[in-house]
């Protein structure tokens, strides 16, 4: 009689793959590195997750579900300043798990790609555009609510905040520690134009 196939924890395998993609980027994450980190065979990877690109899509779903839920919560804050504070603090908190690489999977894959990987870059960029548009829409509502001076364009303020959170992620990836990140966020909130 044949033995039962070896079972594995799908979520644990995806988390391991996420860290490989996060650390090395899509192009730098070889199949060998992925299956070693995931603790499965090549055949099991393809049977369970499909192609490398299919695996990456599943990993990005997990990343957004597990690592960026604070962004959705931020949009529900009652003021534009509350949105900004929640986003900044959530961005910094994302950097405190020692098991995860620093920085952002989205930024890594938006900036770095190899020839032939254009579909991956576009996939990640499209997700980034979706989030950016939701943030702009939230700030347009804040402008209608009189949340900040009429001289400030809501789109410009939203994109300034987005640039700030991206900057915190890049700073963390370059070695800036948590205390310094909080100092940067505190200074930024100190010049925030809204209530």
Looking up residue 151, the CATH number of its domain turns out to be 1.10.357.10
Pair (33, 104) in one structural domain: no
Residue 97 lies inside a defined structural domain of this protein: yes
Pair (87, 152) in one structural domain: yes
Judge residue 4's burial from the number of C-beta atoms within 10 Å of its C-beta, 0-12 exposed, 13-18 middle, 19 or more buried: exposed
Residue 112 lies inside a defined structural domain of this protein: yes
Pair (29, 103) in one structural domain: no
Each residue's pLDDT tens digit in the chain (195 positions)?
A: 444 445 678 989 999 999 999 888 888 899 999 999 999 999 999 999 999 999 999 999 998 888 888 999 999 999 999 999 999 999 999 887 777 778 787 776 666 666 767 888 888 889 889 999 999 999 999 999 999 999 999 999 999 999 999 999 889 888 899 999 999 999 999 999 977
Domain with 98, as residue range(s), is 68-190
Looking up residue 56, the CATH number of its domain turns out to be 1.10.10.60
pTM to 2 decimals? 0.84
Ordered alpha helix ranges (H), 77-149: 80-93, 105-111, 118-144
In angstroms, rounded to a whole number, what is the distance separating the alpha carbons of residues 67 and 114?
A: 25
Given the structure tokens 């032939």, which residue do they identify?
116
Pair (56, 79) in one structural domain: no
């Amino acid at each position: 009689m044949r033995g039962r196939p070896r079972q594995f924890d799908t979520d644990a395998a995806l988390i391991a793959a996420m860290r490989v993609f996060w650390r090395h980027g899509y192009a730098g994450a070889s199949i060998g590195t992925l299956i070693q980190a995931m603790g499965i065979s090549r055949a099991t990877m393809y049977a369970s997750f499909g192609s490398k690109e299919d695996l990456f899509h599943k990993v990005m779903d997990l990343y957004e579900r597990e690592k960026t839920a604070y962004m959705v919560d931020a949009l529900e804050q009652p003021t534009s300043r509350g949105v900004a504070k929640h986003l900044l603090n959530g961005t910094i908190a994302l950097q405190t798990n020692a098991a995860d690489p620093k920085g952002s999977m989205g930024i890594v894959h938006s900036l770095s790609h190899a020839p032939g990987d254009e579909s991956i870059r576009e996939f990640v960029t499209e997700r980034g555009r979706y989030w950016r548009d939701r943030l702009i829409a939230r700030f347009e509502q804040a402008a209608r609510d009189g949340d900040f001076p009429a001289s400030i364009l809501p789109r410009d303020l939203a994109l300034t905040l987005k640039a700030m959170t991206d900057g915190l992620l890049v700073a963390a990836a370059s070695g800036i520690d948590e205390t310094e990140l909080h100092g940067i966020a505190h200074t930024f909130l100190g010049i925030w134009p809204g209530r």
